[in-house]
Amino acid sequence: MFGFPGWIEVVIILGIVLLLFGKRLPGVMNSLGRSIVEFKKGAKEGEESDDDSSKFSSQDSSKDS
């Protein structure tokens, strides 16, 4: 009875959201896209720095032996 809304309800809700936030929606989507790109860039840099630090730590441990 009270489950996930059907496709008609989803279309009605999206229509209401579009009416309420129509003028601001492109700016919000643009900001969201930039945020996702920056997040992916930061995650990639974090992985690269983790790889670099693990290389240095393995070289340091081999010198100690």
- Report d(CA 11, CA 17) in Å as an integer: 10
- Residue at 61 is within a domain: no
- Residue at 64 is within a domain: no
- Report d(CA 50, CA 28) in Å as an integer: 33
- Residue at 58 is within a domain: no
- The pTM of this model reads 0.50
Confidence of residue 5 (pLDDT cuts 50, 70, 90): confident
- Report d(CA 39, CA 43) in Å as an integer: 6
Domain range enclosing 49: 7-53
| pLDDT tens-digit series, residues 15-55 | 998 898 888 888 988 999 999 999 999 999 888 877 666 66
Number of structural domains, the chain?
1
